[in-house]
Amino acid sequence: MMNKLNRSDLWNLEDYAEARPAFRAEVIAHKKCRQVELGPHATLNFEDRITIKYQVQEMLRVERIFERAAIEEELEAYNPLIPDGANWKATFMLEYPDVEERRVALSGLGGVEHKVWVQADGGNRVFTIANEDLDRTNEQKTAAVHFLRFELDPASIALLKRGTALRMGIDHPGLPYSITVNPAIRECLVSDLRDSGLQ
């Protein structure tokens, strides 16, 4: 896929040390239009090529990875998190500042990661495909972080490309929420999508 990262897209460790301050500032600004809060405790951070490149570079930096095979392993792990034009991929975070509150809340939110949805106004709700790498929920509780994919149908993409409103929400009884997405964020996310071919 054209949008996947290759080794040639990455800085080596020495060059990244120089480029990092400016790149980090660029990524922080870039992420502002890719974050949707679903109430006070849940956030969706939508990934793209830039955010994943930053994550890879940071991983290489922290782990001091410079060998070709090890870099390829990191790319293999992270490339699936880049959307391909027909979907959105997001990190879903459940945040409770108090440790005990978090423990109690997560114990009542089993399966919440499967109840997150997006919807183009006039289209169908698209529920998430969650944690394709590994299951993060058991009978006792759910995890605080999940990796989600929203596979959008052509009709929804066509509606969004025509300018219709975008809604997102959670259908779990323990954390019900819905929101109309801010137009600036909506514009950012719709730019990730290829034209569906439908008029």
CB contact set of 149 (below 8 Å; sequence gap of 6+): 87, 88, 89, 128, 129, 130, 132
196: confidence class by pLDDT, cuts 50, 70, 90: low
What does the mean pLDDT of the chain come to? 92
Segments of 100-143 assigned E as strands:
116-120, 125-127, 129-130
- List, for residues 133-149, the tens digit of each pLDDT value: 666 566 567 899 999 99
pLDDT at residue number 119: 98
Q: List phi, psi (to 5°) of 146.
A: -135, 155
- pLDDT number for residue 1: 42
Read off the pLDDT band of 195 (50, 70, 90): confident
Q: How confident is the model at residue 177 (pLDDT cuts 50, 70, 90)?
A: very high
Instruction: Judge if pTM exceeds 0.85.
Output: yes
Residue 90 has pLDDT above 60, yes or no: yes
